[in-house]
Amino acid sequence: MKTPEDYNIHVDAGQPATLNDGAGKLTDCPTLQEAVLAWHALPAEQKMRATVKVIGGPVYTAHHIHRLHYEAKPNQEGCDVEGSKKQQGK
């Protein structure tokens, strides 16, 4: 069974990105988070056509943008999860 975390898209908010406003205008943004904020400011009908593209990475549509999470996915490699054997041995 899928959990809410399975539906989230975990991203690095600091990556540079480009907003395509759906009407032909491209805007380079210093961060993905800023591009998403600009996307949220678009009129509703324009949001459906607009996309956000991470420089050198994926393109996110309206369906994807609502699922973006600016944090690491839980239990990813390299994370020190609370209650792990490493911490229990202290």
Longest dimension (CA), the chain: 58
Domain ranges in the chain? 4-73
Task: Tell me the per-residue pLDDT of 54-89, one tens digit each, with 9 for 90 and over.
Answer: 999 999 999 999 999 886 444 434 333 333 333 444
pLDDT bracket for residue 7 (50, 70, 90) = confident
3-state secondary structure 50-65: CEEEECCCCEECHHHH
Please give the structure tokens belonging to residue 81: 């999860």
Cα 42 to Cα 31: distance, rounded to the nearest angstrom:
17
Q: Is the pLDDT of residue 30 over 90?
A: yes
Q: Is 3 helix (H, G, I), strand (E, B) or coil?
A: coil
**The pLDDT value given to residue 90:** 42
